[in-house]
């Protein structure tokens, strides 16, 4: 009997068992892999033949159902596969590693890097039906053009590197140096970003042109942070964490934030205020670009055109407090919403500093690391 083999030649029986187990495991693994590799056997098979597949390498913002579902309903024959990144360095690393997609959503500071790496395809604005509905100042924004070619279609903008503070804990903040008041020991959160963190200190030290700091200036800023280290609770990376710390009262000041924090905190009954001390802040502008690896230019144009149309623009402005690049969407916003939320018009972008790379970025990164390491 076969079951007697085990008792006669124990080793062989165990070996057989192990071999069978290994075969089963490998078989199961291969089956699972081939199952996952199969193209989606859904009714979309027929759709692929029309508008095809589009890979969008984007911020999570572009995938929220409230905006994404109407897009898929509008273009049912366009199969969109979203791949999400959570930071621009991560985006750049993945693209440099050979990741292929059709569209990508950079911001103005990382756009030059993508252009210089020859990753982007120039965009023909005449193929976008909503292009002329964007604010003219944003259509003409110099950083989105290179050699007369358009490389990014702006989808959102706003302010950052401002100050959000607890009105019930501290008096008005007028100047950047105010946030480093020793009375605020362990109450200040500073954004953990080399560029913004250094610019904040440069403003506090009254530098006129914070993007042009030499080695000595950077050393002075490092010393400044060393002297005022006691006021800093932490160098924060997550907006949600910063808001939570301000709400709990552990922190009183967020430096490096946009106006959205104070709006959301106020809606939770917390006395928070957003300000740009001395009118100094940094503006951000993000958008959509087409990658050279794109296999579906038609789909890419439809995708971009949709995100600059009125409905999604209005949604992001109303719900997420992003500055809408579509003029009609901006005009549609209730005035009280604009007043409460701190949403600004595009003219504000020209009044603040643009978020760019300083010429000696490597040195900035090194100094910032020394600052956060203490």
Partner 1 sequence: MKISKKKSWKLMRNLIYSLPAIIYLTIFFYIPLVTMIMYSFWHGEPLYRVVRVFTLENYVRFFTEELSQNVFISTNIISIVTFLIILLVAYPIAYFLARMTSGDTGLKIILLILIPLEMNYLIRIFAWRNILGENGLINSFLITLGLIDQPITFFFHSIYAVIIVVLHNALPYAVVPLYITIRSIPENLYLAAMDLGSNKLSVFFRVTLPLSMPGIAIAFLFIYIPLMGEFAIPALVGGKTYMLGNMIVRQYLTVGNWPYASAATISLVSITLIVMYVIFKLLGVRRLYE
Cβ nearer to partner 1, comparing 80 with 245: 245
- Count CB neighbours of 362 within 10 A: 10
Stretch that binds partner 1, among 44-52, 153-161, 233-241, 291-299 (CB under 8 A): 233-241
Look at residues 292, 261, 287, 286 and name the one whose alpha carbon lies nearest to residue 274: 261
Cβ nearer to partner 1, comparing 20 with 40: 20
> How far is 146 from 166, CA to CA, in rounded Å?
42
CB of 351 vs partner 1, minimal distance in Å: 29
Under rule CB under 8 A, residue 362 binds partner 1:
yes
CB of 233 vs partner 1, minimal distance in Å: 5
Per DSSP (E only), the strands in the chain are: 52-58, 78-84, 103-104, 120-121, 145-146, 149-150, 153-160, 162-166, 188-191, 232-236, 253-257, 272-275, 282-291, 323-324, 353-354
CB of 18 vs partner 1, minimal distance in Å: 6
> How far is 172 from 170, CA to CA, in rounded Å?
7
> How far is 155 from 130, CA to CA, in rounded Å?
11
Query: Binding partner 1 by CB under 8 A: which of 96, 206, 267, 292?
Result: 96
Strands 232-236, 188-191: pairing kind: parallel
Under rule CB under 8 A, residue 198 binds partner 1:
no
Q: Which string of b and e fits 9-38 if b means at least 16 CB within 10 Å?
A: eeeebeeeeeeeeeeeeeeeeeeeeeeeee
**Binding marks (x or -) toward partner 1, 164..193, rule CB under 8 A?**
----------------------x-------
In contact, 57 and 83? CB cutoff 8 Å: yes
Under rule CB under 8 A, residue 19 binds partner 1:
yes
What 3 state SS string does 208-242 have? CCCCCCCHHHHHHHHHHHHHCHHHEEEEECCHHHH
**Binding marks (x or -) toward partner 1, 203..232, rule CB under 8 A?**
--------------------------x--x
Stretch that binds partner 1, among 88-96, 146-154, 260-268, 276-284 (CB under 8 A): 88-96
Cβ nearer to partner 1, comparing 74 with 185: 185
> How far is 359 from 215, CA to CA, in rounded Å?
12
CB of 266 vs partner 1, minimal distance in Å: 19
Query: Binding partner 1 by CB under 8 A: which of 131, 145, 235, 320?
Result: 235
**Binding marks (x or -) toward partner 1, 241..280, rule CB under 8 A?**
-------xxx------------------------------
Cβ nearer to partner 1, comparing 97 with 279: 97
Q: Nearest 5°: phi and psi at 166?
A: -85, 110
> How far is 111 from 88, CA to CA, in rounded Å?
10
CB of 327 vs partner 1, minimal distance in Å: 35
CB of 248 vs partner 1, minimal distance in Å: 6
Under rule CB under 8 A, residue 370 binds partner 1:
yes
Cβ nearer to partner 1, comparing 66 with 237: 237
Cβ nearer to partner 1, comparing 15 with 172: 15
Strands 78-84, 52-58: pairing kind: parallel
CB of 98 vs partner 1, minimal distance in Å: 12
Residues contributing to the site for partner 1 (CB under 8 A): 11, 15, 18-19, 22, 25, 87, 89-90, 92-93, 96, 113, 186, 229, 232-235, 237, 248-250, 361-362, 365, 369-370, 372-374
């Amino acid at each position: 009997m076969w079951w007697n083999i085990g008792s006669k030649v124990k080793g062989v029986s165990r070996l057989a068992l192990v071999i069978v187990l290994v075969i089963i495991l490998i078989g199961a693994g291969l089956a699972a892999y081939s199952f996952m590799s199969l193209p989606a056997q859904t009714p979309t098979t027929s759709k692929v033949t029309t508008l095809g597949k589009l890979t969008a390498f984007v911020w999570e913002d572009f995938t929220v159902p409230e905006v994404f579902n109407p897009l898929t309903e509008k273009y049912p024959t366009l199969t969109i596969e979203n791949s999400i990144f959570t930071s621009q360095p991560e985006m750049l690393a993945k693209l440099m590693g050979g990741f292929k997609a059709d569209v990508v959503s950079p911001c103005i500071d990382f756009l030059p890097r993508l252009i210089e790496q020859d990753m982007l395809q120039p965009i023909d604005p005449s193929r976008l039906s909503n292009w002329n509905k964007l604010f003219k100042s944003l259509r003409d924004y110099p950083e989105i053009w290179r050699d007369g070619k358009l490389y990014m279609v702006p989808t959102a903008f706003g302010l950052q590197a401002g100050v959000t503070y607890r009105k019930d804990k501290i008096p008005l903040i007028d100047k950047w140096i105010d946030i480093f008041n020793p009375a605020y020991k362990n109450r200040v959160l500073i954004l953990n970003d080399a560029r913004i963190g250094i610019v904040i200190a440069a403003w506090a030290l009254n530098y006129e042109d914070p993007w042009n700091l030499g080695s000595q200036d950077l050393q002075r800023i490092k010393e400044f942070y060393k002297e005022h280290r006691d006021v800093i609770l932490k160098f924060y990376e997550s907006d949600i964490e910063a808001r939570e710390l301000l709400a709990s009262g552990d922190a009183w000041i967020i430096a490096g934030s946009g106006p959205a924090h104070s709006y959301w905190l106020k809606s939770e009954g917390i006395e928070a205020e957003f300000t740009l001390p001395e009118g100094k802040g940094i503006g951000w502008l993000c958008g959509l670009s087409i990658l050279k690896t794109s296999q579906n230019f038609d789909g890419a144009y439809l995708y971009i055109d949709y995100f600059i149309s009125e409905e999604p623009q209005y949604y992001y402005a109303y719900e997420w407090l992003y500055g809408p690049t579509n003029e009609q969407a901006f005009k549609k916003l209730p005035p009280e919403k604009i007043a409460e939320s701190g949403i600004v018009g595009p003219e504000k972008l020209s009044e603040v500093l643009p978020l760019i790379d300083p010429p000696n970025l490597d040195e900035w990164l090194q100094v910032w690391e020394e600052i956060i390491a203490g």
